[in-house]
Amino acid sequence: MKKTAAALFVSFKASRAIPCSLPLRRDFLVQSTLDAGVRDIAYHPVVVLDDHAIRTDAIVVDRDDGRYAIDFVDARPPEDPRAEGLLQVGFEQRCSGMIAVTTADMGREPLLSAAREVWFHAGMTVTADDRAQVLHVLDCEGPIPLRSLQSLAVTRRDPAQVVYALACEGSVSIDLRAGLDGRAIVRGGSLGLGGLRYGT
C-alpha cells in the first residue's frame, strides 16, 4: 500500500520523513518536535533479529537526559507484538532505555491541545520582516512570556501565529507544558538548528 503525504511526518529534528498513520504516533512526533529537550528524532523501520528482518517502525529520540527507544504500547506493529525487535533497536542504537507511551500519555492536557494548535501553523509562510521582528525581540530580551513578545514585536500577522510557525521550523521554542496562554515562555533558537540554549 502506498503511503500518502498525510501519513508522513516531516520535522527539522528528523533526517527523513517518518510514517505516522496513527494519531498516537503523530501526536508523539509533534510534541517531540516542539519539545526543546528533544535534540533528534530517528526512524528505524526494520531490525534483523536471528537472521530475520522484523518490521519495528521504531522511533528513537535523543533528549537532554539520554537516548530512548519509544514503545508505543497501544500501537505495536503486528510483526513485533512483544517489542522484541524494538528492544534490539534500542541495543543497536545504544539507547539509555525504553519509554512506554500510551494513548492516555499523549492525551494529557493542556499539552495535547497546545502542541496541536502550534503545529497547525507548520505550513504557514513567515515573511522576512515578521521573522526579523520576533527574533530581534528574543535576541534583545531573552526568554520571555508570549504575551510580552506580542506587545514588543510589530508584525503584519498576529505575533502569536508567527511564533507558532517559527517553533514548527525550529527557529524558536515554546514551553507548552502549562498550556498555550500568554504565560508560555518563548526562547530564541533550538538545538535542532544548532542554536544554543542557556538557563533551561
Give the CATH number of the domain where residue 83 resides: 3.40.1350.10
In a domain, 156, yes or no: yes
Tens of pLDDT, residue by residue over 73-113, are 999 988 888 999 999 999 999 999 999 999 999 999 999 99
In a domain, 199, yes or no: no
Percent of the chain with pLDDT over 90: 78
Domain closes at, from 106, 124, 155: 106
87, 174: one domain: no
| Helices 159-169, 111-119: inter-axial angle, 10-degree rounding | 90
Cα–Cα distance between 84 and 80 in angstroms, integer? 6
pLDDT digits over 119-171, tens only? 999 999 999 999 999 999 999 999 999 999 989 999 999 999 999 999 999 99
CA distance 23 to 7: 10
Domain housing 62: 5-106
Q: Evaluate if pTM is beyond 0.85.
A: yes
17 and 62 both lie in a single domain: yes
**Total count of residues recorded for the chain:** 200
Query: Rounded CA gap, 24 and 119, in Å?
Result: 15
Domain identity same for 54 and 126: no
Rounded to whole angstroms, the Cα distance separating 84 from 142 reads 45
Number of domains the chain is built from: 2
CATH of the domain at 187: 1.10.10
* Co-location of 86 and 170 in the same domain: no
118 and 177 belong to one structural domain: yes
The residues, ordered by sequence, that sit 6+ positions from 65 with a Cβ below 8 Å of its Cβ are 37, 96
> CA 164 to CA 134: how far, in whole Å?
11
> Tell me: the pLDDT tens digits for 39-86?
999 999 999 888 889 899 999 999 999 999 999 999 998 888 899 999
Same domain, 22 and 102: yes
